[in-house]
Amino acid sequence: HLKPDPDVDPPLPGGPGIADADIMIYVTMVDTPVCMANITLAYALACNRDQIDRPTFGHINFCPRKITPETAAQERQHDLSTAIHEVFHIIGFSQQSFALFRDSAGNPRTARCPDAPNCQSSDPDGYPPALSDGRLFTDPNTVVEEGDPVVLRLVTPEVLRVAREHFDCDTLGGVPLENEGGDGTAMSHWEKRAVLNEFMVGQLSTTWDPVRSALS
């Protein structure tokens, strides 16, 4: 801890932190209400970001009742992919992080308040304006939202390059994001019907090994 934590009883003293570390991730294994409510194996979030929006602290919680004690190689591979999957949520693969992406020159891809259009008094400076559902607005140069029912596609330059090469389609207009599954799944994973068992889909199939690809 860099600062004393007043929310812990007795309070934890401040400390020097961790030298030469870019990010610190707290890992817990607790059956929380999120674990009990659905089939979630684990979940994660970024807790703090630096001055250019890179996460510096994150938290992963594994749901102990959903982790099987199997030792088969395929089960171990799925558990490993789950852990890597959650780390990716912390470092940027989530609908809240998409709004904070920056271009190759380090400039925000989405305009920030107070100068961005549609900012409200409740929107903090340095962040994009919030939408009515609580999400941060994300510029269409990063996420395109269209159609009925709504389909969201990630369209950053590197995602387009990798996807067009993989699918051999020079006009591919982005990779769709999951639009179902609730707050913990929708818009924070690839659409499974498009990439099957790529490890950043919302629910991996146990029939095939997860694939860690250049897409993510």
- How confident is the model at residue 181, as a pLDDT? 76
- How confident is the model at residue 4, as a pLDDT? 56
**Alpha helices (H) in the chain, listed in sequence order:** 33-37, 73-91, 95-98, 157-167, 192-195
Task: Output the pTM of the full model.
Answer: 0.86
CA distances from 176 to 56, 104, 168, 187, 196 (A): 28, 22, 16, 9, 12
DSSP 3-state percent helix, strand, coil across the chain (nearest 5) = 20, 20, 60
Q: Where do we find the tokens 């171990």? A: 76
Active-site option among 75, 86, 145, 191: 86
- 130, β-bridge pairs: 136
Average pLDDT for runs of 10 along the chain of length 216: 59 76 92 84 92 94 80 71 93 95 96 95 94 91 89 95 96 93 84 90 76 89
- How confident is the model at residue 35, as a pLDDT? 87
- How confident is the model at residue 134, as a pLDDT? 85
| 86 in catalytic set | yes
- How confident is the model at residue 191, as a pLDDT? 94
- How confident is the model at residue 12, as a pLDDT? 66
Phi, psi of 79 (to 5 degrees): -65, -40
- How confident is the model at residue 98, as a pLDDT? 96
